[in-house]
C-alpha cells in the first residue's frame, strides 16, 4: 500500500486537545520502540525497490509533521535541516524532487542517531504546539498519526524482508513463549443474502478519502468462509501440484510463477528432506505452524488456490458487509515491539479472524467509489493516484497497530506483491 493516500474531510478529531497529544506521543514512541533491536546498518539497508530502510520510515513520518503542520501553521518554526525535505519526501511531486526510490539504502548519512535527533526536535515542537493549533491543523496531526501507523507496519515487514535475504538468518526478536493453539475446526460457509447494502465510510470517524463516500452496492447471493486458509491446507495445494498446473492460474500469474520459479509462500523454507516444514520470521527460522494462517502469498497465489479449491475470493463489498458488525480492534494485531504472527482460528462459531492476523486479498480492484472527491493540496496530491492495477485487501494483520483499521479500510497492493502479512479467505457464489 502506498500510504498517505488520504485526507480528512471534516474535523473528526476527538476533543479535548489533550487526547490528540496523548495519541501523538504514543504513536511516536511506538515507532522508536520498533527499531530498538536494529543496528545502524540494519536501519539503513533497503532490500528491494518495494521496501524502504527503517531509518527512512523514521524520518519520513517526521518530515510529514514538519512539512504539513509545522511549516504550514507555525510561522516561527525553523526547519531542522532543509536538505531533509529532499531526502525524506516520498512521492509528492508538488513538494519538489526526490531521490530515486531504489537508492534509499545508499543514504548512509544522516545517521540513525541524527534521524532520532530530528524526530526529537520535531516532537518537541509538535507537543508544544498541538494545544495551540487550529482545527484544520489538528486534522493533519491526526492524519500524520494514521500515516505513521501505516509506516510502523511497513517498517516491520521491510525489516523481515531484509533479514530474509541474509544467509545467516538473523533473529530480530526472540520467539514468543506462548503456545500456538492448534486444530482449527473444519471450514464452515456462512451464507449471505442478495440485495442492496451500504459500503464505504460515512465520515463519522477518521477515514482515508478513498474509503468515502458511503454508497449503495448490490450483493449477489454468496457464502463466505468462517476462517482463513491455513498453512496445512496450503501444503496440500503444493502437494497437489498447485504451483505447476497452469489451468489454476491467471495468465499474468503463471508468467510470474515461471519467471521467479515460485514454489511456496514467500518465507517458507525447506527442511533437509526437501519438505516445506519451516519458515523464516522475525524470530529466525522455525517450524511452520500448520494450523496458523498461510501468509505472505500474492494475489496470484490466493486466486489460484481459490480456483483449485472450487471457490473464489470475496469481493471487497462482500467482505466489508460481513465485517460491518464486528469489532475492528479485536483480534491479533501488533501491540508491542516483538515477533508478530497470526494465530490459529478460535474454536468458535461465526466469522473468525476477520480483523488482524493477515490482510485478506479480495477479488476487487482498487478503484474509486462513486462520488469520490480528491482532496485539494499537496497532502492530497496523490489521492487516488494508485487506482490502476492493484487489488484491495481488508482487515489488517498481526503487524498492523491495534486500532488502525476498520471495516471500510482499503489496503491495496499489486497482484505479485507478498512481503506483507497477506492471506486468503474463500468465498463462493450461491
Applying CB under 8 A, does 96 fall inside the site for its own copies? Answer: no
Applying CB under 8 A, does 170 fall inside the site for its own copies? Answer: yes
Candidate residues 188, 217, 277, 329; the one interacting with its own copies per rule CB under 8 A: 217
The interface with its own copies within residues 138-167 (CB under 8 A) comprises 162-163, 165-167
Whichever of 40 and 347 has its CB closer to its own copies, that residue is 40
To its own copies, the closest distance from the beta carbon of 46 in angstroms equals 8
Q: Alpha-carbon distance 31 to 156, whole Å? A: 10
Q: List the one residue out of 213, 205, 226 whose CA is nearest residue 314.
A: 226
Applying CB under 8 A, does 110 fall inside the site for its own copies? Answer: yes
Q: List the one residue out of 337, 293, 303 whose CA is nearest residue 416.
A: 303
To its own copies, the closest distance from the beta carbon of 414 in angstroms equals 8
To its own copies, the closest distance from the beta carbon of 361 in angstroms equals 11
Candidate residues 6, 31, 44, 341; the one interacting with its own copies per rule CB under 8 A: 44
Applying CB under 8 A, does 232 fall inside the site for its own copies? Answer: no
Applying CB under 8 A, does 222 fall inside the site for its own copies? Answer: yes
Contact indicator for 155, 334 with CB cutoff of 8 Å: no
Contact indicator for 88, 64 with CB cutoff of 8 Å: no
Candidate residues 16, 76, 178, 218; the one interacting with its own copies per rule CB under 8 A: 218
Pairing of strands 359-365, 422-423: parallel
Applying CB under 8 A, does 391 fall inside the site for its own copies? Answer: yes
Q: What angle do CA 261, 418, 60 make, to 5 degrees?
A: 130
Look at phi and psi of residue 270 and say left if phi exceeds 0, alpha if psi is from -120 to 50, else beta: beta
Applying CB under 8 A, does 190 fall inside the site for its own copies? Answer: no
Candidate residues 3, 34, 35, 43; the one interacting with its own copies per rule CB under 8 A: 43
Applying CB under 8 A, does 330 fall inside the site for its own copies? Answer: no
Contact indicator for 200, 369 with CB cutoff of 8 Å: yes
Q: Alpha-carbon distance 144 to 151, whole Å? A: 10
Applying CB under 8 A, does 273 fall inside the site for its own copies? Answer: no
User: What are the residues whose beta carbons fall under 8 Å from the beta carbon of 346, sequence distance 6 or more?
Assistant: 181, 352
Q: Alpha-carbon distance 183 to 310, whole Å? A: 23
Whichever of 85 and 235 has its CB closer to its own copies, that residue is 85
Binding residues for its own copies, how many (CB under 8 A)?
Answer: 73
Applying CB under 8 A, does 365 fall inside the site for its own copies? Answer: yes
The interface with its own copies within residues 236-265 (CB under 8 A) comprises 246-247, 249-254
Cβ count within 10 A of residue 29: 10
Candidate residues 215, 232, 269, 278; the one interacting with its own copies per rule CB under 8 A: 215
The interface with its own copies within residues 54-73 (CB under 8 A) comprises 55
Applying CB under 8 A, does 382 fall inside the site for its own copies? Answer: yes
Buried b (16+ CB within 10 A) or exposed e, 14-28: eeeeeebbebbeebb
Nine-digit cell string for 10: 471534516
Whichever of 75 and 109 has its CB closer to its own copies, that residue is 109
Pairing of strands 284-287, 276-281: antiparallel
DSSP 241-259: TGGG-GGGS-HHHHHHHHH
To its own copies, the closest distance from the beta carbon of 247 in angstroms equals 6
Candidate residues 105, 181, 284, 346; the one interacting with its own copies per rule CB under 8 A: 105
Whichever of 164 and 341 has its CB closer to its own copies, that residue is 164
Contact indicator for 148, 31 with CB cutoff of 8 Å: yes
User: Site map for its own copies, 392-421, x if CB under 8 A?
Assistant: -----------------------x------
Applying CB under 8 A, does 36 fall inside the site for its own copies? Answer: no
Whichever of 382 and 409 has its CB closer to its own copies, that residue is 382
Contact indicator for 356, 332 with CB cutoff of 8 Å: yes
Applying CB under 8 A, does 320 fall inside the site for its own copies? Answer: no
Q: List the one residue out of 47, 36, 182, 213 whose CA is nearest residue 112.
A: 36
Applying CB under 8 A, does 316 fall inside the site for its own copies? Answer: no
Candidate residues 59, 87, 302, 393; the one interacting with its own copies per rule CB under 8 A: 87
To its own copies, the closest distance from the beta carbon of 208 in angstroms equals 16
Query: Dihedral (C-alpha) 156, 157, 160, 165: value to the nearest 10 degrees?
Result: -140
Whichever of 161 and 402 has its CB closer to its own copies, that residue is 161
Q: Alpha-carbon distance 87 to 97, whole Å? A: 9
Q: Where are the strands (E) in 306-372, listed by range?
A: 359-365
To its own copies, the closest distance from the beta carbon of 224 in angstroms equals 13
Whichever of 73 and 386 has its CB closer to its own copies, that residue is 386
Amino acid at each position: 500500500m502506498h500510504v498517505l493516500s488520504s485526507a480528512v474531510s471534516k474535523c473528526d478529531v476527538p476533543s479535548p486537545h489533550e487526547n490528540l497529544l496523548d495519541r501523538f506521543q504514543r504513536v511516536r514512541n511506538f515507532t522508536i520502540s520498533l527499531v530498538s533491536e536494529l543496528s545502524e546498518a540494519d536501519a539503513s539497508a533497503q532490500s528491494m525497490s518495494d521496501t524502504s530502510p527503517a531509518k527512512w520510515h523514521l524520518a519520513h513520518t517526521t518530515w510529514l509533521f514538519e512539512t504539513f503542520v509545522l511549516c504550514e501553521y507555525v510561522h516561527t518554526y525553523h526547519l531542522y535541516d532543509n536538505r531533509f525535505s529532499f531526502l525524506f519526501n516520498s512521492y509528492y511531486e508538488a513538494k519538489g524532487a526526490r531521490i530515486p526510490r531504489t537508492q534509499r539504502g545508499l543514504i548512509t548519512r544522516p545517521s540513525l542517531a541524527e534521524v532520532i535527533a530530528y524526530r526529537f526536535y520535531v516532537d518537541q515542537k509538535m507537543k508544544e504546539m498541538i494545544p495551540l493549533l487550529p482545527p484544520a491543523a489538528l486534522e493533519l496531526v491526526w492524519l500524520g498519526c494514521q500515516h505513521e501507523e501505516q509506516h510502523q507496519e511497513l517498517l516491520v515487514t521491510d525489516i523481515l524482508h531484509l533479514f530474509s535475504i541474509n544467509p545467516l538468518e538473523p533473529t530480530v526478536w526472540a520467539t514468543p513463549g506462548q503456545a500456538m493453539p492448534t486444530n482449527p475446526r473444519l471450514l464452515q460457509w456462512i451464507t449471505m443474502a442478495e440485495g442492496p447494502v451500504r459500503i464505504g465510510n460515512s465520515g463519522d470517524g477518521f477515514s482515508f478519502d478513498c474509503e468515502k463516500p458511503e454508497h449503495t452496492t448490490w450483493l449477489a447471493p454468496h457464502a463466505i468462509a468462517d476462517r482463513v486458509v491455513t498453512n496445512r491446507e496450503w501444503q496440500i495445494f503444493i502437494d497437489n501440484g498447485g504451483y505447476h498446473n497452469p489451468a489454476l492460474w491467471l495468465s499474468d500469474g503463471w508468467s510470474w510463477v515461471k519467471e521467479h520459479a515460485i514454489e511456496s509462500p514467500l518465507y517458507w523454507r525447506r527442511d533437509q528432506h526437501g519438505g516445506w516444514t519451516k519458515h523464516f520470521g522475525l524470530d529466525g527460522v522455525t517450524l511452520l505452524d500448520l494450523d496458523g494462517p498461510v501468509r505472505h502469498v500474492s494475489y496470484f497465489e490466493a486466486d489460484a488456490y481459490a480456483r483449485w479449491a472450487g471457490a473464489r475470493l470475496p469481493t471487497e463489498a462482500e467482505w466489508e458487509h460481513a465485517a460491518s458488525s464486528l469489532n475492528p480492534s479485536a483480534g491479533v494485531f501488533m501491540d508491542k515491539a516483538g515477533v508478530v504472527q497470526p494465530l490459529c482460528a478460535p474454536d468458535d462459531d461465526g466469522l473468525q479472524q476477520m480483523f488482524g492476523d493477515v490482510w485478506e486479498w479480495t477479488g476487487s480492484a482498487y478503484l474509486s467509489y462513486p462520488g469520490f472527491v480528491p482532496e485539494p493540496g499537496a497532502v492530497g496530491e496523490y489521492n487516488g493516484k494508485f487506482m490502476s492495477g492493484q487489488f484491495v485487501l481488508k482487515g489488517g494483520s498481526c503487524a498492523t497497530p491495534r486500532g488502525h483499521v476498520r471495516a471500510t479500510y482499503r489496503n491495496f497492493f499489486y497482484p505479485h506483491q507478498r512481503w506483507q502479512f497477506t492471506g486468503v479467505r474463500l468465498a463462493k457464489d450461491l
